[in-house]
Chains A and B, each alone.
Chain A
Amino acid sequence: MIIANNVTKKFGKLTALNNVSATCGKGQCIALIGPNGSGKTTLVKCMLGMVIPDNGFITFNEKNILHDWLYREHIGYMPQIGRYPENMTIGQLLNMMKDIRFKSGGQSLDEDLVKAFKLPDLMQKRMRTLSGGTTQKVSASLAFLFNPDVLILDEPTAGLDPVASEILKEKIIAEKQKGKLVLITSHILSELDDLVTHVIYMQDGNLLFHKSIDRLREDTGEQKLSKAIASVMQKN
């Protein structure tokens, strides 16, 4: 579904992405793993068209995403740190997003998370007054709201309390089972154990490997994802 071809991105002298190529297919749940500053978020932003690669290109359903924007209809994005217009209330924000994105007769709205996170009780709260966790809940709800084919979740569980975290995880599994592509970046590896089917490991802007979880377990002889990764890291 999403294919990155030799994507390179430099911020000044820093090379954030160095010739990264990856193929993400339907029904996969890919964990994008790597230390801080390894280029995970940059790769995700490239896929969203928020960052424009210096070299290489990204295709979505075999179409180059450069100068395209409609493909984003099929993506739900949950940013690492959700930043929203401060003066808006949650209700206004949700309404605005629906207003901008919702096409009559197109998709159906998926408000499971909105309800599960009990957001209707908080509709009048302004965004600037929200705690980090609540903001994450809003971000997650927005990502799933339009029932997209692809979910890109940047550090989804960071800042969420265990209950919310569990709700989100279950939602992700449910969506994966519908055959959607889910892309998760995270550094808390244990959380991902029962979710992921594939792992992309990045370091210093390089994509070190892209394997299915079974392959990884085979190669490292470790059952737990965190241990498997740790052993990879030690090898390097």
Chain B
Amino acid sequence: MKKIIKYVIVDILRNKIVIAYTLLLLAISFGLFNLDDNTSKGLLSLMNIVLIIVPLICIIFSTIYVYNSSEFIELLVSQPLQRKHIWMSLFGGIAIALSLAFFIGVGIAVFIYSFTPAALILLGVGLLLTIIFVAIALLAAVYTRDKAKGIGISVLLWLYFSLIFDGLVLFILFQFQDYPLEKLMVVISSLNPVDLSRILILLQLDVSALMGYTGAIFKDFFGTQTGIIISFVVLLLWIWAPLWASLRRFNRKDL
């Protein structure tokens, strides 16, 4: 398994898009920290960018990569290798390579400019989001044979997690305005890794007071150590669930 991961990582790291992605993140993170005299504000802007760009790049790149690896997968499947290992290696390879890109792209600036708990949470959450969206991409790719369709589904999934989901939340909030929804909102936020990540980071920043204002429950839950641990467990579940589903499908897939 290690050997296959090695080949995938070497292959991805040679890829120009991943290098461009790393440079883009580097430019953004350094740019934002230099632009704002206040590192907390820089961190806030960085969070906004990370929550949009990381899922988008990760899901699209991974989907395309899986399709482009179909020959490689076919070759491996005919070899004395367990399918589970092949798929996990592919996932591991992509996830490690993209995490590395993110870590270099954002981590360096964070370590230089703002080595704070909030920044570390941003870094941790960014890494988890990277892996989550690789897993989701694998799921999208394994279920659709057609490359164009698969990429289309990936983009839609990204749109869903970044925008449509929040629209639905807003809709629910106004439909059931007369009910106490605060606790439900905590549960609902765990249904979207992007939202969950955003809340986790925000609660580490000054602006958390603004969230505490409207309902202590966000802060009481997400702001505590238990809340943070639970949130991270939920994010790990967000890696596990799509990965497990995609593996189940891949094990039965005809190549």
Contacts and interface: CB of A to CB of B under 8 A. Distances in A.
A48 B80 CA distance: 9
Given A83-B74, A86-B71, A100-B3, A70 B80 contact: yes
A99 interface: yes
Interface in B197-255: 252-255
A79 B11 contact: no
A52 interface: yes
Interface in A70-86: 70-73, 75, 77, 79, 83-86
A17 to B, nearest CB: 12
A15 to B, nearest CB: 14
Interface of A: 9, 11, 45, 48-52, 69-73, 75, 77, 79, 83-87, 96-97, 99-101
B14 A100 contact: no
A84 B77 CA distance: 12
A130 B75 CA distance: 17
A51 B80 CA distance: 15
Contacts of A77: 78
A100 B254 contact: no
A83 B70 contact: yes
Contact of B80 (A11, A73, A85, A87): A73
B83 interface: yes
Contacts of B254: 9, 11, 45, 50-52
A72 B71 contact: no
Nearest to A99: B3
A69 B77 CA distance: 9
Interface string B57-83: 000000000001111101111111111
Contacts of A73: 80
A79 B78 contact: yes
A50 B254 CA distance: 6
9 closest Cβ contacts across the A-B interface?
A: A83-B71, A72-B80, A73-B80, A51-B254, A85-B72, A77-B78, A50-B255, A69-B82, A48-B78
Contacts of B70: 83
A97 B77 contact: no
A97 B69 CA distance: 16
Contacts of A85: 11, 69, 71-72, 75
Interface of B: 3-4, 7, 11, 14, 68-72, 74-83, 252-255
Contact of B79 (A45, A84, A87, A97): A97
Nearest to B15: A87
Contact of B77 (A9, A49, A70, A96): A49
Contacts of A96: 3, 7
Contacts of A45: 254-255
B59 to A, nearest CB: 22
A94 B82 CA distance: 20
27 contacts: A49-B77, A50-B77, A50-B254, A51-B254, A52-B252, A52-B253, A52-B254, A69-B82, A69-B83, A70-B80, A72-B78, A72-B79, A72-B80, A75-B78, A79-B78, A83-B70, A83-B74, A83-B75, A84-B71, A85-B71, A85-B75, A86-B68, A86-B71, A87-B11, A99-B3, A100-B76, A101-B80
Nearest to B4: A100
Which residue, of B3, B4, B11, B79, has the highest number of chain A Cβ atoms within 10 A?
A: B79
Given A52-B254, A85-B11, A87-B14, A100 B71 contact: no
A71 B82 CA distance: 11
Contacts of B68: 86
